[in-house]
Chains A and B, each alone.
Chain A
Amino acid sequence: MDGVIGFFQDLGPNLQLVWDRMPMILDGVQVTLLATVLGGALALVIAFVFGIAQVSKFMVVRGVARVFVEFFRGTSLVVQLFWLAFVMPQLPYPLGFRLEPLLIGVLALGLNYGAYAAEVVRGSIGSVPKGQYEAISALSLSPARGMLRIVIPQAWALMLPSLSNLWIQLLKGSAIVNTVLLYDLFFQVEQLRDRTGTWFAYSFALLSYYLIAWLIVILMNGLEVRAKHRIGRGPALSQSWGSLFRPPGTSGRSARVVRDHSEAKLAGPMGGGGLA
């Protein structure tokens, strides 16, 4: 295809064009990172609040959390994004206002992936062995303290691989935000296309997202190693730098999860059972 040939012929001038437009591209990168980090932070908060609420002993709390999670998982990210961008401004008084595009992006990404992550949190808390809960009462720790000091640190190590995958999903999902006028990395690269042609611009876009995704993988791998070390189930980070560069979805656990129901929710490259 001539597109591919042109790609190599014009590589030099195209790279020059990228260099010239670097300020705009970096603006786009900044918006993408901002949406990914803020959206991820919101998702994490939602995940813990609604994940823990789902194992509450009060039925009402469990019920409300369940409805929230199913609603935001079930209605599709793009629909939620459009709802915030197009429907909200048309609503009557208390709700009818136009949100900032960045806020729309962060809210939609955070609510949607937060609902998925809540399932991961719930599943991980459920996978902490029963004996640990018995130990909490044996040591007469208060339930809150037991949760904080015994259950969560163990569940955290279990949930990190799935959270990592969900965060990458969120980054990928963020490429849709330019439809609600948020000028992210994808938008800025599309501006390049007129000058550089499709093959170059889109290869550049994909590669940029790939690199950002790897930043997330490395960060989350580091957190996972640390979390495992802290509960005595793995080497310290200083002894296993190599594990930072392990690709996602190959945490060694995936091999047996499919047969173990309690962990099945954590299976698969993007959080498996917890996802749909």
Chain B
Amino acid sequence: MNPEPNSWWDWEHAIAVFPDLLLQGFKITLVATVLGTLLALVLGLIVAIIRRSTPPIINGPVTWIVEFIRMTPLVVQLVFANLVLSPYVDSSLAIGIWVLGIHYTTYMAEVYRAGIDSVPKGQWEAATALSLPRLRTWRAVVVPQAVRNTLPALGNYAISMFKETPFLFVIYVPELLNVAQNYGSTHFRYTEAITLAGLIFLAASYPTSLLIRRLEKKLA
């Protein structure tokens, strides 16, 4: 393959691995990020509302579980879930997405909580004054205002999840880094594959974080 193993960079390897990285690896990475983010967005809001509106007997354990998940490594959670669930679930990607989603739920719940706290007290009072039902108060008054405030932070967590998808490597999900690693070990040439994988992460995450920074300025 490569006549001169001591060169810094071999375009042949780069060209050979690039399509696989983009079409297989990056695709899986994106799927995991998008689904994981959706999961975390929905579950995070539910957790935040539960923590805000239930008695201590529910709120206490929920708070503790959230904190426990947030303070323990994603990698350990991934391998644990994969070992326990793989007899019942065929796809390790699905397990990975759920674990990513639940892990980030604990971050996003905290963001929502801050957002809910930032809704002025008068809004709650107005809802009571208009005798809006509880569900409607949340849906039509509190959540729309809370979410607007939290959009940049939520977006940042989505990007951060994107960059943590390589952790799925430990449960053999063929995401971007795994594809690169496989190419490296079969051709015994890691330079191009892993470097390109890193550059793809940079090329996707940097523009997105610039967009979010603009959104942040616009909403502020």
Contact = CB atoms under 8 A, between A and B. Distances in A.
A264 B114 contact: no
Chain B contact residues: helix, strand, loop or mixed? helix
B150 A168 contact: no
A121 to B, nearest CB: 17
B73 A209 contact: yes
Interface in A69-91: 70-71, 73-80, 82-83, 86-87, 90-91
Interface stretch (B52-60, B91-99, B127-135, B159-167): B159-167
Interface in A157-213: 168, 171-176, 179, 186, 190, 193, 198-199, 202, 205-206, 209-210, 213
B137 interface: no
A218 B181 CA distance: 39
Contact of B190 (A90, A168, A172, A272): A90
B72 A206 contact: yes
Contact of A255 (B7, B118, B159, B216): B118
Contacts of A168: 71
A146 interface: no
A175 B76 contact: yes
B157 interface: yes
B76 A199 contact: no
Nearest to A173: B73
A267 interface: yes
Nearest to A209: B72
Given A78-B169, A179-B169, A264-B153, A210 B190 contact: no
B84 interface: yes
Interface residues on B, range: 35 or more
A260 B217 CA distance: 10
B102 interface: no
Contacts, number: 182
B84 A199 contact: yes
B34 to A, nearest CB: 15
Contacts of B107: 268-270
B39 to A, nearest CB: 18
Interface string B188-199: 011100110111
Contacts of A101: none
A120 B51 CA distance: 28
A213 B117 CA distance: 27
A273 B190 contact: no
A76 B195 CA distance: 11
B206 A79 contact: no
Given A77-B163, A175-B75, A202-B79, A259 B149 contact: yes
Contact of B191 (A3, A75, A91): A91
Contact of A273 (B68, B71, B156, B169): B156
A187 B107 CA distance: 26
Nearest to B63: A247
Contacts of A248: 71
A259 B72 CA distance: 29
Interface in B1-50: 5-8
Contacts of A257: 114
A256 B120 CA distance: 11
Interface of B: 5-8, 67-68, 70-77, 79-80, 83-84, 106-107, 110-111, 113-115, 117-118, 149-150, 152-153, 155-160, 163-164, 166-167, 169-170, 177, 180-181, 184, 189-191, 194-195, 197-199, 201-202, 205-206, 208-209, 212, 216-217, 220
29 contacts: A74-B205, A75-B201, A75-B202, A78-B169, A79-B166, A82-B177, A86-B194, A90-B189, A93-B6, A171-B73, A172-B71, A172-B72, A172-B74, A176-B167, A198-B80, A198-B84, A202-B80, A205-B76, A205-B80, A256-B118, A258-B111, A260-B220, A264-B153, A267-B111, A268-B114, A273-B153, A276-B156, A276-B157, A276-B209
Given A76-B198, A276-B208, 10 more contacts: A77-B163, A78-B169, A80-B198, A82-B181, A175-B76, A176-B170, A206-B80, A258-B118, A269-B106, A276-B158
